[in-house]
Amino acid sequence: MTALPAVEAITRALATVHDPEIHRPITELNMVKAVDVAADGSVDVAVFLTVAGCPMRDKITTDVTRAVAGVAGVTGVRVALDVMSDEQRKALQTQLRGGQEQREVPFGKPDSLTRVFGIASGKGGVGKSSVTVNLAVAMAADGLAVGVVDADIYGHSIPRMLRVTQAPTKVEDMIMPPSAYGVKVVSIGMFSAGRPVTWRGPMLHRALQQFLTDFYWGDLDILLLDLPPGTGDIAISLGQLIPSAELIVVTTPQLAASEVAERAGAVAIQLRQNVAGVIENMAGLPCPHCGEMVDVFGSGGGGATARALEQTMGVPVPLLASIPIDLRLREGGDTGYPIVLSAPDSPAAQALRSVANRLGHRSRGLVGRPLNLTPVGR
């Protein structure tokens, strides 16, 4: 006679099932309501959903069924779904915030281990959002936990570029960002329903603050913010909310773009931020017939921006990459399939992956972090 499966073994199997939005085990989140083993070896599992109408209910059911079915002695699995009470959701919210009920920007704390990069440009149309998306996806593919904030409130485009169609899920007053290609994403485009956003300065600051506090990001290695072009409210708000954030300046080789990009990077001086480097986008078009590079937008603008910022700031500012024009880079933005995945061996993708590897595996500096040093008496 086959031994009945042990409840302890089933619980261990359930610990391998992660909530699709919070990305933590359902056992740890107190989402397992009950486990009952029948005399014939079949198992009934009752699971709490965080909210009614949870968009991931089918995935949770499938994952629980698969995990429990793998336990020795289980002859069948039945999953029943329930919904957390208001008290349970509040307890979950407090748990996820580390016991803190008050909202705060976790990435702005001195002990935060998340590296934050603001992707900036002097003017629009230089490919800043495309760079953001491809860096994020490349970093996630390397095993890093990555989040993207579409901070370009007026010109938001990240949801399309990452093919994010799922709406965020709300648990009490905390929101779970949807994911694409392993990247957590938030954008005002998820809430505006296609309507234009006509906010002024204080509203923009509040929107960025809510993106950083009201959403549950978990333990991120990297957070990228796609900033609006120029040196306006959002750039200033980033410096105030996350003083340790670094800027990555995107420009084209064109002299006019390079000069404006220099001003966008120089705002870091006023906000006491570091410039991680410059990325030159649209750096030449390979001729489809002879392969010779055609400098459609001129040449040398990225290097000139890096040198100018280095001179202004008095610290090294590297040219991180020169990305050639590639039709697939533009197509990836339209289809939501980034070039680092669709054509990973292309020169453009290789340049982007090189930057992602360089920034993604660089240790955070000591600026803004407590050293916990105690003076020793003589």
What pLDDT score was predicted for residue 226?
95
Same domain as 90, residue 126: no
Tokens 């990240």 — which residue? 158
Closest listed residue to residue 41, CA positions, set 9, 4, 8: 4
Same domain as 328, residue 270: yes
Q: CA 179, 330, 221, 150 torsion: positive or negative?
A: negative
Closest listed residue to residue 121, CA positions, set 303, 270, 259: 259
Same domain as 251, residue 121: yes
Tokens 């990009």 — which residue? 261
Same domain as 75, residue 200: no
Same domain as 152, residue 20: no
Same domain as 123, residue 89: no
- Local structure of residue 190 (DSSP, 8 states): G
Q: How far is residue 44 CA from its own chain's centroid? A: 37
| Sequence letter at residue 305 | T
Q: Are 225 and 117 in contact (CB under 8 A)?
A: yes
Q: Which token pair is 172?
A: 């009490």
Same domain as 118, residue 73: no
- Give the DSSP letter string of 103-145: ---GGGSTT---EEEEEE-SSSSSSHHHHHHHHHHHHHHTT--
By DSSP bridging, strand 222-226 and strand 146-150 are parallel
Q: State the angle between helix axes of 255-271 and 301-313 in degrees (0 to 180), rounded to the nearest 10.
A: 30
Helix/strand/coil for 189: helix
What pLDDT score was predicted for residue 197?
77
Q: If you count them, how many residues does the chain have?
A: 378
Closest listed residue to residue 248, CA positions, set 223, 279, 221, 270: 279
Helix/strand/coil for 285: strand
Instruction: Classify residue 374: in a domain, yes or no.
Output: no
Q: Are 49 and 85 in contact (CB under 8 A)?
A: no
Same domain as 335, residue 260: yes
Tokens 């289980």 — which residue? 74
How many domains does the chain contain in total? Answer: 2
Same domain as 79, residue 117: no
Q: Which token pair is 148?
A: 């993207």
Q: Burial of 43 by CB count in 10 Å (0-12 exposed, 13-18 middle, 19+ buried)? A: buried
Tokens 């505006």 — which residue? 192
Q: CA 315, 152, 259, 286 torsion: positive or negative?
A: positive
Instruction: Classify residue 367: in a domain, yes or no.
Output: no
Same domain as 73, residue 48: yes
Phi, psi of 269 (to 5 degrees): -65, -45
Helix locations, the chain, DSSP H: 7-14, 57-69, 86-96, 128-141, 158-161, 201-213, 233-241, 255-271, 301-313, 327-335, 339-342, 347-360
Closest listed residue to residue 360, CA positions, set 182, 96, 123, 108: 182
Residue-number span of the structural domain to which 180 is assigned = 107-360
Mean pLDDT by 10 residues, the chain (378 residues): 84 92 87 92 92 82 94 93 86 74 77 93 89 97 96 90 86 83 92 75 86 90 93 86 92 84 81 91 84 81 90 90 93 95 95 95 54 47
Same domain as 201, residue 324: yes
Phi, psi of 375 (to 5 degrees): -60, 140
Closest listed residue to residue 264, CA positions, set 240, 296, 282, 239: 239
CATH number of domain containing 67 = 3.30.300.130
